[in-house]
Structure 1
Amino acid sequence: MAAKRHVGSPFVELSNTDSTNIHAIRQLQANMAAHGTAFFAYTQYAGKGQRGKEWDSEPGSNIILSVVLDSSFLLITQQFYLSAMVALACHDFYSSYAGEETKIKWPNDLYWRDRKAGGILIETLVRGHKWQWAVVGMGININQTVFPPQARRAVSLKQITGKQYDVPALARELCACLERRYQELLGKQFESLLDEYNRLLFMRNETMKLKKESVSFQCTIKSVNPDGALLVEGGIQDQFRFGEVEWIF
């Protein structure tokens, strides 16, 4: 299966929308979008983050981007490889400006040192028993320098480098990074994608405090397996699924 269009073609700019992911799903369902379509918003009023959280962004300052990807060549059980691919593409993009201190925090946040630079939200569209589409939402901090109290761990490229950036141009660069990594996924280079994801894993081989329900504990972060579970040593259990634990800084 060969994708007909590159990621970022077409590149649709929206002055304002509820959520780029919601907009992308609406367009897909109306047959107004296909593989490669990218929706970039200058601002959104109902941004979606992981686990039902809102994603707040200063208007015009950050990358707010959703892309449509054909995932029909993957099994539902291979979802984490797509997640890893997207995280690596975001890392490729951000580290080219912010340097090697850029890491991937499990499951799919972008970190610089111990601060959050961006987040990823992937929503799937299944038809019958087939995983037909993935809508990949990415929020990456670029020019914003003041963040709300609930985002006190946030950091932006401008804070890191001291430079002001052309946000839509950077969003197009991110699409190019996604295209390169998507071709690896299309070639089913699953093992190398997972190996690289683990090499760039935030706090790998370091001690971290996690919390499951009301229990906090120390453990050593080891790796992530093909199912997307976080593997640790010295914790209350050896592995955790997404949503089971939170990180305590």
Structure 2
Amino acid sequence: MKLIKLDAIDSTNDFLKALASQDELDNFTVVTAENQIKGKGQMGSKWVSESGKNLIMSVLVKDFLFDTEHVFNLSVVVSLSVIEVLKSLNIPELSIKWPNDIMSYNKKIGGILIENTLKSDGRIVSVVGIGLNVNQTNFDAFPTASSLAAITGKVFDKTDLTISVAAKLQQNTEAWNNDSQTLWDAYFALLFKKGVPMPFQNKKNQNFMGIIKGVSPQGKIQILLEDDTVSEFEIKEVKMLY
């Protein structure tokens, strides 16, 4: 595994994408930064991190996705990889808030942004961005967020975390080829608030009640509505109110 450490950068995802376009980088090349000026979340939302306190990393993943219909498979693998590393550190009450926010109790401790590039030869090259709140403890401006240190009272080594997450990601991408169903089942089992009646809001800002039943192979969340029908929603088409 090649590890590139940076001090400050606009975006580790952007840096790694640019690097990958100019050079034949090794699979699972990792870029980390102490500070990210223009961190991104899903659908262009911002990811804000206190300088030097948190894990900011991007990983190059090649030869895993082979068609655009199943790009969500990588979200499943990445989310599970992060969760498995955190479980090994005894972080409590872990879950995945669809599509790939990492939760402990009801607090967000991490987020994932995957950007895929379709090459002219049909290959899909992915840059996996992972932001994990590690040693930051002040979340006054973000009441729904927390960190490993805030939850456990311990300080964590970010380099060890980086290596562990990248290694687990590589391991799980290889395991996917042999038993993808087991990984899908594990993802379903970890879904935040699955099976619990919850208020949601659609893109028209209309509130409704529903129960999360699962996620489709294309990554759409499946919600049981009050009329006993199940509807599927894309990312940003629905928001959980919790």
Scaled by the length of structure 2, the TM-score of the pair is 0.93
Alpha-carbon distance, 1:99 to partner: 3.7
1:112 is aligned to 104
1:245 is aligned to 238
Alpha-carbon distance, 1:74 to partner: 2.2
- Residue type of the alignment partner of 1:81: N
Deviation string 1:90-141 (CA, Å, 9 cap, x unpaired) is: 1111222244510011001100111101000000011136242000000001
Rate the CA distance shift 1:148–1:71 in 2: closer, same or farther, 3 A.
farther
Which of 183, 193, 202 in structure 1 is aligned with 2:192? 202
Deviation string 1:53-81 (CA, Å, 9 cap, x unpaired) is: 11111111111000000045521111111
CA distance in 2, matches of 1:222, 1:97: 29
Which of 22, 29, 38 in structure 2 is aligned with 1:46? 38
- Residue type of the alignment partner of 1:155: S
1:3 is aligned to none
CA distance in 2, matches of 1:103, 1:160: 15
- Residue type of the alignment partner of 2:23: N
Rate the CA distance shift 1:168–1:219 in 2: closer, same or farther, 3 A.
same
Alpha-carbon distance, 1:175 to partner: 1.1
CA distance in 1, matches of 2:65, 2:149: 38
- Residue type of the alignment partner of 1:198: F
CA distance in 1, matches of 2:64, 2:99: 22
Which of 50, 53, 58 in structure 1 is aligned with 2:50? 58
Q: Note if contact 2:64-2:173 (Cα within 8 Å) is conserved in structure 1.
A: no
Q: How does 1:166-245 map to 2 (within 5 A)?
A: 166-185=157-176, 187=177, 189-212=179-202, 213-235=204-226, 238-245=231-238
* CA root-mean-square deviation: 1.6
1:17 is aligned to 9
Identity of aligned residues (%): 32
- Residue type of the alignment partner of 1:157: L
CA distance in 1, matches of 2:194, 2:241: 15
The alignment covers a number of residue pairs equal to 239
- Residue type of the alignment partner of 2:105: R
CA distance in 1, matches of 2:140, 2:11: 19
Rate the CA distance shift 1:142–1:43 in 2: closer, same or farther, 3 A.
same
CA distance in 2, matches of 1:146, 1:12: 28
Q: Give the ranges of 4+ consecutive aligned residues of structure 1 lying more than 6 Å apart after TM superposition.
A: none
Aligned pair 1:93/2:75, yes or no?
no
CA distance in 2, matches of 1:248, 1:242: 15
2:155 is aligned to 164
Which of 127-136 and 162-171 deviates more?
A: 127-136
1:135 is aligned to 127
CA distance in 2, matches of 1:145, 1:64: 16
Q: Note if contact 1:211-1:246 (Cα within 8 Å) is conserved in structure 2.
A: yes
Q: Note if contact 2:6-2:32 (Cα within 8 Å) is conserved in structure 1.
A: yes
